[in-house]
Structure 1
Amino acid sequence: MAGPRVTLLAHAATRGQRSAVFAADGAIEEAGRIRAGHIARRMDKVDRVYFSPARAARETAEALGLSGTPEDALRDCDYGRWAGQSFQHVLRREPRKLLSWMRQPDTAPHGGETIAALLERVGLWFQALPRDGGHVLAISHAAILRAAIATVIGAGPAAFWRIDAGPLTMADFRSNGRRWVFRSLTLPDRASDIGAGDAGAGSDG
């Protein structure tokens, strides 16, 4: 039996994401809904589906034609008081605090979650997954996808900002029952090309 597999999919784009808004939840755009439909037709069979409690993640699952289970561990990063504000707005109002947050993963000047805590949360979710060899699809956020890659490859929080991910970016992870490995990354412009097999090689919501 093949070992456990996780496919992490960042939800389709929302209007807030286009404006680089922190925690930009909301309805997914029609273009993303259509693209998700294309992905569904080419995606490998999945045994379990989990999604973030966010509306955008739930709607992405619906666009894929899949039902699943809400999973709180897949929620977006908690951006504290920055939630709902654009990156540019925060940069103008609190440039030093924004820079501190991006450079020091153990700090949370917004009063929310640190990047280090985000990686720990995602790592614990991976550890808690069943080891029965099933294929799990997890629909979440680009921040969760970046955190997962950084955690699995052992790069730590410093790698978080060095991983490119946006709406409908997909990451594939495999396990031999003892440890997880990062297999591949499919960027949005290639997401509809995923077939039965591996994803092709390779911003937040």
Structure 2
Amino acid sequence: MRATSLRLVAHGHTAALRRARFGGADDGLDEGGLRAALAQVGPERRGHLGVTDTCLSSPAAAARQTADALGLLPTIEAALADCDYGDWSGRSLEEIAGTRQRALRDWLSAPDSAPHGGESVTAVRDRVGRWLDGQRDVGRRIVAVTHPLVIRVAVVHALGLPTAAYRQVDVEPLAIVRLTSQGTRWQLRLAAPAA
């Protein structure tokens, strides 16, 4: 059986991401985000991603536009959606810190907390983890374009770490995280750039 190769790609910059706003508005890529995504593409229209059997994307416009800029034709996968930030959606981190400081502190320190009325980080990990577990033995080369938080919890799940460890994983726009599986568990693969 062929190993499963999963490349998790963080979508490019959006206005909300640059302004440290919680998700909500279905922002597309901003001009800089689109330029940066297009710059990742080589002459073969795959850039650093190599051969792909399947491309999946979060339902968000930024993820779909990133996949398109990379020359991929994504299928929407609901499990790759960003966290539901409830009544914090569209609001800035600074605004929440100024009006609901204790709630923000709780959310940042306790992965089970959801003071905004949406999903907790634990709920996002559970959703993404179920999807990730279902991909282990498919034997395909998959690219999944999604959100930084989704990639952070996917890495934590794949490595069997406590959910709180997601805070120690930074994912920048257009970052690529590579996971491989022979069917039983995921391995994080750190590859050198192609020569």
TM-score, scaled to structure 1: 0.86
Alignment partners' CA distance in 2, 1:114 and 1:145: 15
Alignment partners' CA distance in 2, 1:110 and 1:102: 12
Q: Deviations over 1:15-51 (max 9, x none)?
A: 1111000006412122322222232322211110000
Number of aligned residue pairs: give it: 189
Which residue in 1 is equivalent to 2:40? 39
Alignment partners' CA distance in 1, 2:39 and 2:18: 21
Which residue in 2 is equivalent to 1:11? 11
Aligned-residue offset at 1:155 = 1.2
Q: Which runs of 4+ in 1 moved over 6 A?
A: none
Contact 1:14 1:25 in 2 (8 A): no
> Out of 168, 172, 176, which is 1:170 matched to?
176
Alignment partners' CA distance in 2, 1:184 and 1:123: 21
Residues 130 and 69 of structure 1: is their aligned pair in 2 closer, same or farther, counting only changes over 3 Å?
A: farther
Alignment partners' CA distance in 2, 1:40 and 1:2: 26
Alignment partners' CA distance in 1, 2:77 and 2:170: 24
Which residue in 2 is equivalent to 1:195? 194
Residues 130 and 115 of structure 1: is their aligned pair in 2 closer, same or farther, counting only changes over 3 Å?
A: closer
Contact 1:39 1:194 in 2 (8 A): no
Mean CA deviation greater in 104-113 or 38-47: 38-47
Gaps of 5+ in 2: none
Alignment partners' CA distance in 1, 2:139 and 2:39: 26
Residues 54 and 39 of structure 1: is their aligned pair in 2 closer, same or farther, counting only changes over 3 Å?
A: same
Which residue in 2 is equivalent to 1:26? 27
**Aligned sequence identity (%):** 38
The secondary structure found in structure 2 opposite 1:40 is coil
Q: Deviations over 1:50-82 (max 9, x none)?
A: 000001011111111111100100000111100
Letter in 2 for 1:97: A
Alignment partners' CA distance in 2, 1:116 and 1:130: 21
Which residue in 2 is equivalent to 1:201? none
Alignment partners' CA distance in 2, 1:70 and 1:194: 28
- Asked if 1:56 is matched to 2:55, the reply is no
TM-score, scaled to structure 2: 0.91
Q: CA RMSD in A?
A: 1.8
Alignment partners' CA distance in 1, 2:41 and 2:137: 25
Which residue in 1 is equivalent to 2:149? 143
Alignment partners' CA distance in 1, 2:193 and 2:13: 19
Which residue in 2 is equivalent to 1:80? 86
